[in-house]
Structure 1
Amino acid sequence: MSEPQVKGHVTLHAYLLNVQGLIKEHLGGRTWVIAELTEFNVRSNGYCHMALIDAVDGKEAAKCTATMFASVANLQMTAFRSVTGSDPAPGMKVLLNVSASFHPQYGFKLEVFQLDGNYTLGEMKARVEQIVERLKAEGYYSKQKQLASPSGYWRVAVISPENAAGLGDFRQDADCLNRHGLVEFAYYDAVFQGEKSPASIKEALRLAFADHQRTPFDAVCLIRGGGAKADLAWLNDYSLAVWVCRIPIPVFTGIGHERDETILDLVAHTRFDTPSKVVGALMRHLQHEAQELQRDIDRSGIEVERLVSLEENRLQGLDSRYRHSVHQQITGAIHDFKDNAARFDAGIKRLLHEQALFLQRTQSSIDLLIQRLLAEASAQLVDWGQQYRLSISQTERGATEGLLHAWSEASSLMRTLLQEEITRYRQAYHSYQRLVPAMLSHEQTLLQQSSLRTQELSNRLLDQNHLELQHAGSKVGSMVGALVHSHESDLNILRQRYASAVRSAVQAEEHRLDRYGVLFSALDPRAVMAKGFALIKSQEGKLFHNAASVEAGVELLIQFHDGQVQATAGGRDV
């Protein structure tokens, strides 16, 4: 069956050949193009294949493929690596020097002649600046800087790639601190390069914060430890930076680059160049804390000595006041005893004097009474005699009997009165005899009671002051014991931290010397010469670096790894 004939047609191949010609004619020259890599592959023969896109407002606006031949790729990749520290990778923005090409069978593509690494680095910095401005506008940028620096490091969270070299350097010192119970470290794995790195680090931060809510952390360390500069671009992520800003724990970064900063370095609480410097800062803080503790112990020792001296002075003052008080009490008691004895003697004398006066008054009263009775009796007899003489004339017998009766009554009355006075005198005398012993016994009782009270008061004062001295001594002993125990505990902690710091420093120095030893062994010229190489020198010791610098007939010294030989230069073959 024959094909239908159409007027004015061309074949696809012919049409695409025309397109190829137009592109070669109008776009065959080289042009600098900015694009984002979505694929970058290097084949075994050095040929590079890449996929490029361009986005507008976050949406893909254009895409195509590009190639770079091995002869060009070798030089361009080396130059790009020297600037950025890594090979081109998906996600990078690149500046390419390209020319357009079209093949009817393989379609449109760009041929790459140059790859500008400086633009890629500049684009990274510009991206960081845009993120910084956005964080400042939203109030996140300085949140970490506003957190107070930790007063101590007891628990530290570490976020790092698993089995990273920087993590190994970090753990050399960190494990030593952990073994001695100085700092507890909790490790969280995360990816630090590739498009999954922001999400991985955020998940590690989420886990660390969840553990922080159960048992608080003092700091979070983000460490990577080396790697390509271009890999830093994965860490310049806005959402990741917001997470770091908002976490309420001081964040320390040790990404592993001294000159290049990521957005995480800018927003972190403290930025360090390497993981080793992060753990070094922790160790320096512990050393400073140990020095402060030693100063506190010294100050506390001085304060203890001052307190002991003050307590000794106070106890001496209490002892002096106690002795003075006891002396005053005993002196007062003796004085009171003497006063009571004097009053007793004066009372006895007064009582005896009063009794003597009473006896004198009683004797005088009896004498006066007897005289009065005798006078009254005499007056009565005289009166009766007169009556008798008047009535004797009437009845002699009745008068005589009356006189006799009156005389009898007078005699009886006198005897009765005398007997009553004598009885009263005896009663008064017996009362006096009974009164004097009772008063003497009462005064003796008062004197004994005063003596007992004096002795009891002295004993009570002695016991009270003795108890006060014991209490003061016990209080001082307890205070001194507590202070000594506290400072012994602090000193033990200080010794442990000093020992740990010294061991860590020695281990770090040994590790550093080992690395230097390995490096020295690798760079030692004798190791190179042992492989069959030799140094060519003149007799004066001048080294010859090439054949052109050696003249014929010159005496040479050939230095091998195990010795040297002499030779003479012959002709030169170029």
Structure 2
Amino acid sequence: MRKVEQVGDFLRISFDYDERLRQLVRALPERQWDPIERCWKVPKDHVVSVVELLEPEGFSFDRATKDLYEERKRERAQDLTVSELNARVQAILTQAFPAPVWVVGEILGYDKNAHKDRVEFHLVERREGKIIAQVEAILFPEERILIEEKLARAGRPFSLTDEIVVRVLAQVDLWVREGVYRLVIRDLDVNYTLGEVARRREEILRKLSKEGILDRNRSLPFPALPLRVGLITSLGSDAQNDVLKTLRDSGFAFQITIHGARVQGHHTEPSILNALDWFRVHVEEFDVILICRGGGARADLAWFDSEALARAVALFPIPVIVGIGHEEDYSVLDWVGWRPKPATPSGAAKFLVQKVQETLEKLETSLADILHAAQVRLDTEEKALGERERRLVQGTKGKIVLEKQGLGHREKRLVRGAQAHLRLAREKVRLALRAIPQGASRLLGGKRTWLSEAEKRLLRGSFRELGQAKEEIGVKARRVGELARRKLVQEVERLSSREGRLRALDPKRVVERGFAILRLPSGKAVTDPIQAPEGTFLTAELRAGVLRLLSQGGERAGEK
């Protein structure tokens, strides 16, 4: 039963449970739920809003409520309060959208309010990455629980979070108190989000396949020793730690360069493209590239279903290994890059370790084959060498016998030849001994004549040089004598001048000019009156003799 009664200062609203009516009443200003009486209460000042909102829904009103409504309506025949305006707009929206509608949009602002009971967020529409329209939305606790249970039953393919596109069932509503138009979320279409992801992925794959670049990166020859690794992942993430631990535990000398990137949300595409561009510039320094992200909801991995990312990986000049999510997860990158088994971050790292291990095993097998072939060849050569040694020994022995015979014949010929040479040499020596005295006499006679002539030439030259030396000595002696005489005259004149000056300074010369020299009894000359105080005996030296004086004291120059 739907009815409204006036009780004191409040209007008491009662009805059997109906979620739509409950949301409608919640839009009334200052409404309150009374859990004891199990009814809604609204101050009677809002009677106009209550009647005009609930009368179309089949509510009955008691006489007091009707009278109050008529009274207030006459008072406000032309004017509307804000709450009345919002209530009328809310009623119009309810009439236009009597039932919930399905709306498609991208969630925005959910994460920052996810901890609240009532989560307020926006549904937005984007075009080329820019928001072109948005509407406010609210998710109440009851509906949130229902949606979370629905996702859990579906295997939790994704979670409610920012930047995923969803299809929701929502009631169009106006929050009367705030005058805000919004959507009240009732339900979620799980299959839509998953289907949209799959549709977009298939469209990208068809396009790349048509252009002939879908398998280009996977057709590149994989390096035998992929030790120089470029890793693109979120810095500090579990994916990074798993890759590093797996590669380090392998014991192989991997060289790892990490480029941080966003792996969820709208920034995933530009962030990973930026990392790929950096590695492309330094491609000569790397063997392979790893793109890794840990597990998560399938919708979270949809950010890797990007045509730009797929093209960049497909056309990258060295192999790109993709380890994103769990083994059962797929993205476009799994089809254009190298997908390991399992296709996880640690699986991608194990794939590299396996490739290096395979190369090492091939090298060890090849080395073993080479060593075996070398041993067989050595054994064969050793046998052949033994046979050649045996033949060589036999041949050498025969050769030695022949050489001994030949040496005997040569020895005999050599002895005979030596004896003949000795006889010839003795004859030559005998003839030479006869010729030596005659030759020596002739040679000595010639030498005596040459020595006599040389002696004569030496004497003549010596006399000539001695005469020249005597003449030079005479000239130099005359020059030295003249210089000595001039120097002696100069020194005599200088000594005479000094003697005159010294005589002029002699004290006796002073006395001869009429002056006297006073001396103390000690013989020291008096130069200061203080030396001869009163009563001092003095001696005065004169030109004609000496005076003995007694001092009566004296005064210094300038004293009175």
* Band the TM-score falls in, shorter-chain normalisation: 0.5 to 0.7
Match of 2:226 among 153, 159, 166: 153
CA distance in 1, matches of 2:380, 2:87: 109
**Structure 1 residues 193 and 56: CA distance shift in structure 2, 3 A:** closer
Match of 1:232 among 282, 289, 301: 301
2:167 aligned with 1:95: yes
Paired position in structure 2 for 1:260: 329
User: CA contact under 8 A between 1:80 and 1:116: conserved in structure 2?
Assistant: no
**Structure 1 residues 211 and 129: CA distance shift in structure 2, 3 A:** same
Query: Which secondary structure state, in structure 1, belongs to the residue aligned with residue 231 of structure 2?
Result: strand
**Structure 1 residues 164 and 9: CA distance shift in structure 2, 3 A:** same
Match of 2:102 among 3, 27, 32: 32
2:267 aligned with 1:193: no
CA distance in 2, matches of 1:442, 1:15: 149
Q: How does 1:164-313 map to 2 (within 5 A)?
A: 164-177=237-250, 180=251, 182-213=253-284, 216-271=285-340, 272-313=342-383
Match of 1:67 among 112, 116, 138: 138
Moved more, 76-85 or 327-336: 327-336
For residues 450-493 of structure 1, the C-alpha deviation after alignment (integer angstroms, 9 at most, x for no partner) is xxxxxxxxxxxxxxxxxxxxxxxxxxxxxxxxxxxxxxxxxxxx
Paired position in structure 2 for 1:314: 384
For residues 46-80 of structure 1, the C-alpha deviation after alignment (integer angstroms, 9 at most, x for no partner) is 21223123457877664322222111112213433
User: CA contact under 8 A between 1:174 and 1:185: conserved in structure 2?
Assistant: no
CA distance in 1, matches of 2:137, 2:413: 138
User: CA contact under 8 A between 2:227 and 2:253: conserved in structure 1?
Assistant: yes
For residues 202-239 of structure 1, the C-alpha deviation after alignment (integer angstroms, 9 at most, x for no partner) is 232233334433xx322211222223332212222222
Match of 1:127 among 200, 203, 224: 200
Query: Which secondary structure state, in structure 2, belongs to the residue aligned with residue 113 of structure 1?
Result: strand
For residues 348-374 of structure 1, the C-alpha deviation after alignment (integer angstroms, 9 at most, x for no partner) is xxxxxxxxxxxxxxxxxxxxxxxxxxx
User: CA contact under 8 A between 1:52 and 1:63: conserved in structure 2?
Assistant: yes
User: CA contact under 8 A between 2:304 and 2:332: conserved in structure 1?
Assistant: yes
CA distance in 2, matches of 1:138, 1:144: 14
For residues 392-425 of structure 1, the C-alpha deviation after alignment (integer angstroms, 9 at most, x for no partner) is xxxxxxxxxxxxxxxxxxxxxxxxxxxxxxxxxx
CA RMSD of aligned residues (A): 3.6
Q: CA deviation at 1:316?
A: 2.3
Query: Which secondary structure state, in structure 2, belongs to the residue aligned with residue 270 of structure 1?
Result: coil
Q: Structure 2 unaligned segments of length 5 or more: list them.
A: 1-76, 421-560
Moved more, 20-29 or 300-309: 20-29
Match of 1:143 among 216, 222, 229: 216
User: CA contact under 8 A between 1:174 and 1:279: conserved in structure 2?
Assistant: yes
**Structure 1 residues 295 and 303: CA distance shift in structure 2, 3 A:** same
In the alignment, residue 327 of structure 2 is paired with which amino acid?
E
CA distance in 2, matches of 1:56, 1:220: 32
Identity %: 24
Query: Which secondary structure state, in structure 2, belongs to the residue aligned with residue 188 of structure 1?
Result: strand
Q: Structure 1 unaligned segments of length 5 or more: list them.
A: 1-7, 342-439, 449-574
Number of aligned residues? 339
**Structure 1 residues 441 and 118: CA distance shift in structure 2, 3 A:** closer
CA distance in 2, matches of 1:37, 1:253: 28
In the alignment, residue 102 of structure 2 is paired with which amino acid?
W
In the alignment, residue 192 of structure 1 is paired with which amino acid?
V
**Structure 1 residues 298 and 190: CA distance shift in structure 2, 3 A:** same
User: CA contact under 8 A between 2:301 and 2:325: conserved in structure 1?
Assistant: no
Query: Which secondary structure state, in structure 2, belongs to the residue aligned with residue 185 of structure 1?
Result: strand
User: CA contact under 8 A between 1:84 and 1:118: conserved in structure 2?
Assistant: no
Higher relative contact order (CA 8 A, sep 6+): 1
**Structure 1 residues 19 and 334: CA distance shift in structure 2, 3 A:** same
**Structure 1 residues 314 and 219: CA distance shift in structure 2, 3 A:** same
CA distance in 2, matches of 1:129, 1:56: 20
* TM-score in terms of structure 1 length: 0.52
CA distance in 1, matches of 2:156, 2:204: 21
CA distance in 2, matches of 1:60, 1:285: 46
Q: CA deviation at 1:153?
A: 2.6
**Structure 1 residues 43 and 279: CA distance shift in structure 2, 3 A:** closer
Q: CA deviation at 1:302?
A: 1.4
CA distance in 2, matches of 1:40, 1:164: 23
* Higher helix residue share: 1
CA distance in 2, matches of 1:329, 1:258: 82
Paired position in structure 2 for 1:552: none
Please say which structure displays the higher CA radius of gyration. Answer: 2
Paired position in structure 2 for 1:546: none
Q: CA deviation at 1:266?
A: 1.8
Q: CA deviation at 1:324?
A: 4.7
Query: Which secondary structure state, in structure 1, belongs to the residue aligned with residue 110 of structure 2?
Result: strand
